[in-house]
Amino acid sequence: MNKTKDGTKINIGNVQEFGEKVGKEITVNGETVAVFKLSNGKFKAIENRCPHKGGPLSRGIVSGEHVFCPLHDWKVCLSSGNVEEPDEGCVKTYKVESEDDVVYIYI
């Protein structure tokens, strides 16, 4: 772990451990997070709980920079955490980066 201006930088695995467009649930400092590797190679991380009924977003379908909740198909933006209208709500987002084949999250 390494403290930075963005929070504590934590190693969450190697790039190869993350499937493209497939969510991976991790727990860091007591927070359950859904981490996604997008088709463009970027990583995104959000709170792993849909604001509607608490569905596990890590099990949702990824399309572009959005994930669809597996319970009721709510569309959540992986960059902002906002739910697409007409639904309402948002989830916490986390900064994620990869460096030398290692993936880090900031908490």
In this predicted model, what pLDDT tens digit does every residue of 62-78 receive, in sequence order?
999 999 999 999 999 99
Q: How far apart are CA 67 and CA 63, in angstroms?
A: 6
Question: CATH number of the domain that 98 lies in?
Answer: 2.102.10.10
Q: Is 23 exposed, middle or buried (0-12, 13-18, 19+ CB in 10 A)?
A: buried
> Are the CB atoms for 86 and 14 separated by under 8 Å?
no
> Are the CB atoms for 71 and 83 separated by under 8 Å?
no
Q: How far apart are CA 57 and CA 54, in angstroms?
A: 8
Tens digits of residue pLDDT in 11-37: 999 999 999 999 999 999 899 999 999
With a threshold of 0.85, does the pTM exceed it? Answer: yes
Domain residues for 38? 2-106
Looking at the 3D structure of the chain, how many domains does it have? 1
Give the pLDDT band (50/70/90) at residue 2: low
Determine the residue type at 31. E
